């Protein structure tokens, strides 16, 4: 069996350290565990690497990180001396082995003569994205597993524009990776030697300060610093991650002096000891923040995930309780606020645009139409939003980028970075709270006003975790079934069209016509509802999950949720 041979190869290799070999020897009598760890190599995709920590080819460890980095190094060397000299910016979050993986990556790159810039402490995704652009690097590496549970870590690669590496370049790196031996074809330079040769350079506050200057430029009503910024009470939690320093620094610089950090979740901790999962989508993680907010009567609660690219928001209700906004709600609140402010200041042109992912709320189109801007729909994955920005820049197309977001709680209000930025989103959300306070309103009021203005659209994302080999096979079987037997109705709700993004086809159920969608192939099955809205089935690109997305235009939240309850029950009955 191939996986047993790989296990034995790791045990016999002189490159593998004794601690790793001891871990592998402990599973000698557990063939199922050996298979889980070695049945495949940890996949390098357009999101880089992400997996469970541990020994094995299908795990995150120094050897799989080194191999991926050697593939990146070979790619950079093939691009010539200029690419090698421009080098790679490297950052990391608070997870287990994040600093170690960052320096292992730097030492592999140094062995190939490639210069690196490693942050002096944990810094979030948006600052890494900014640093690539600011330092004119050829690539970037971010060590993070975002909001995954503590036993995970990951490795993201960025291109020179500050966005995650595009599909074409990822495939080139992958080809290098697939054609090398994990031990014999990887070179690693000693850390101190690399530093002394100027191949590893330490960066920190200067880059962060430059980044914060750019974030502060995103403000739409900075004059709130004169009055309501000082009045609003903010509870903030970094969920033991990398957001604490940049978030508190930017809020202080913008005049928000009444910021209360959740002390129990302030310090970096790779075990995320106060939460089941450091995910700002989940209200359960905010229980300490809610307790603190109730004590002080906070106007808003905000929480950033470990790599501070996504932010969760809890709004205050009239009775003093707090409710979580969905990523779609946060996205449209910010979109409307940014565009309304731009309109007020005469800063909207006819070719201006915003961007969202295809599974994000259709309410965005109504907002775009109201302000006369274009809306671009892209795949899930913020690099696709970044590609729209880059395309406009490269082709010198008219129109200004105002905002981009995904339903998964990520957004970007400027072009200084090219990945999700929870630091900037937190600042703008606090600014919106401050602006609303001037007229005696809250974020909760603003959301209700938005529905009154544009109509109700209710959304829900349902994730089903299916781990291991069996889970991977089950996810594939589900996607194959949906593609082979596409829904025409779900729970007596009629569907009008089926978009098979894997084949780039849209089938109109009424006319029977099949037309191209115009997207690169991706494993996404999208059903249009007759009255508007959609049902989408897709596997997660970063977690062992199958995801179901529902979006329903309706007359009220209650009606929308009732319809989604019916849809979800039927979809699960058929597919699970």
Q: Which residue, 139, 213, 278, is CA-closest to 424? A: 213
Angle of helix 363-371 relative to helix 327-344, nearest 10 degrees, comes to 0
User: Is 540 part of the annotated catalytic residue set?
Assistant: no
DSSP β-ladder status, 374-378 and 401-406: unpaired
Strand partners, 549: 461, 536
From the CA atom positions of the chain, what is the Rg in Å?
Answer: 24
Query: With b meaning 16 or more CB within 10 Å and e meaning fewer, what string describes 95-128?
Result: bbbbbebbbbbbbbbbbbbbbbbbbeebbbbbbb
Strand partners, 506: 499, 515
* CB-CB contact of 287 with 278 (8 Å): no
Give me the phi and psi of 215, to 5 degrees please. Answer: -60, -40
Question: Strand 353-357 and strand 401-406: pairing?
Answer: parallel
- Using the 8-state DSSP alphabet, how is residue 414 labeled? S
Alpha-helical runs (H) found in 135-218: 167-178, 191-196, 205-216
Task: From 130, 123, 162, 171, select the one nearest 144 (Cα to Cα).
Answer: 123
Task: Point out the catalytic residue in the list 146, 341, 357, 360.
Answer: 146
Q: Dig out the tokens for 208 from the structure.
A: 């962060």
Helix H or strand E encompassing 507: strand 505-508
Cβ atoms of 551 and 560 within 8 Å: the answer is no
* DSSP 8-state class, residue 286: G
CA angle 456, 458, 464 (to 5 degrees): 175
* Beta-bridge partner residues of 301: 235, 314
150-188 in b/e burial notation, b at 16+ Cβ within 10 A? bebbbbbbbbbbbbbbbeebbebbbebbeeeebeeebeb
In Å, what is the CA distance from 420 to each residue of 156, 291, 348, 385?
Answer: 13, 28, 23, 10
Contact 325, 346 (CB under 8 A): no
CA distance 488 to 498: 8
Quickly list H helices, 357-467: 363-371, 382-394, 422-438, 443-454
Measured CA angle at 169 (ends 165, 171), to 5 deg: 110
Pair 270, 150: CB distance under 8 Å: yes
Count Cβ atoms within 10 A of the Cβ of residue 546 and give its class: 0-12 exposed, 13-18 middle, 19 or more buried: buried
Distance CA 254, CA 252 (A): 5
Q: Is 33 exposed, middle or buried (0-12, 13-18, 19+ CB in 10 A)?
A: middle
**Known catalytic residues?**
146
């Amino acid at each position: 069996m191939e996986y047993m041979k790989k296990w034995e190869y790791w045990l016999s290799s002189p490159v593998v350290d004794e601690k790793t070999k001891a871990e592998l020897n402990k599973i000698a009598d557990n063939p199922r565990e050996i298979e889980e760890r070695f049945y495949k190599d940890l996949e390098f995709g357009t999101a880089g690497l992400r997996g469970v920590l541990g020994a094995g080819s299908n795990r995150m460890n120094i050897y799989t990180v080194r191999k991926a980095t050697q593939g990146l190094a070979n790619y950079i060397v093939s691009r010539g001396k200029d690419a090698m000299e421009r080098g790679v910016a490297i950052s990391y979050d608070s997870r287990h082995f994040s600093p170690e993986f960052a320096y292992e990556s730097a030492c592999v790159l140094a062995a190939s003569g490639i210069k690196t810039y490693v942050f002096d402490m944990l810094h979030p995704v948006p600052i890494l994205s900014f640093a690539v652009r600011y330092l004119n690097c050829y690539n970037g590496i971010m060590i993070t597993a975002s909001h995954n549970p503590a036993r995970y870590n990951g490795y993201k690669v960025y291109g020179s524009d500050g966005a995650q590496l595009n599909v074409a370049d990822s495939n080139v790196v992958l080809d290098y990776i697939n054609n090398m031996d994990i031990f014999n074809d990887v070179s690693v330079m000693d850390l101190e030697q690399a530093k002394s040769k100027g191949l590893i350079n330490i960066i920190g506050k200067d880059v962060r300060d430059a980044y914060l200057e750019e974030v502060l430029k995103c403000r739409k009503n900075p004059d709130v610093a004169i009055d309501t910024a000082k009045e609003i009470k903010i509870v903030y939690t970094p969920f033991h991650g990398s957001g604490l320093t940049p978030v508190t620094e930017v809020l202080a610089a913008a005049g928000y002096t009444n910021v209360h950090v959740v002390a129990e979740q302030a310090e970096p901790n790779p075990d995320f000891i106060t939460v089941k999962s450091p995910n700002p989508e989940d209200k359960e993680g905010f229980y300490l923040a809610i307790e603190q907010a109730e004590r002080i009567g906070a106007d808003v609660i905000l929480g950033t995930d470990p790599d501070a690219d996504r932010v969760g928001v809890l709004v205050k209700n009239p009775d003093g309780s707090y409710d979580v906004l969905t990523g779609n709600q946060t996205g449209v609140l910010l979109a409307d606020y940014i565009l309304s402010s731009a309109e007020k200041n005469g800063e909207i042109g006819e070719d201006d645009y915003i961007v969202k992912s295809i599974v994000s709320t259709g309410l965005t189109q109504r907002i775009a139409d109201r302000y006369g801007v274009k809306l671009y729909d892209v795949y899930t994955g913020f690099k696709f939003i970044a590609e729209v920005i880059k395309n406009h820049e490269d082709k010198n197309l008219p129109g200004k980028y105002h905002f981009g977001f995904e339903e998964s709680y990520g957004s970007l209000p400027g072009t200084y970075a090219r990945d999700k930025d929870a630091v900037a989103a937190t600042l703008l959300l606090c600014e919106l709270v401050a602006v609303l306070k001037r007229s005696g309103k809250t974020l909760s009021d603003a959301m209700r006003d938005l529905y009154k203005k544009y109509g109700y659209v209710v959304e829900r994302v349902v994730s089903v975790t299916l781990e291991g080999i069996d889970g991977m096979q089950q996810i594939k079987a589900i996607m194959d079934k949906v593609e082979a037997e596409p829904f025409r109705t779900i729970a007596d709700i009629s569907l009008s069209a089926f978009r098979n993004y894997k084949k780039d086809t849209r089938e109109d159920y009424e006319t029977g016509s099949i037309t191209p969608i115009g997207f690169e192939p991706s494993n996404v099955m999208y059903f249009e509802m007759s009255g508007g809205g959609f049902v989408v089935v897709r596997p997660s690109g970063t977690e062992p999950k199958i995801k179901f997305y529902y979006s329903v235009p309706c007359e009220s939240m209650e009606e929308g949720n009732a319809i989604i309850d019916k849809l979800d029950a039927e979809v699960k009955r058929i597919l699970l």
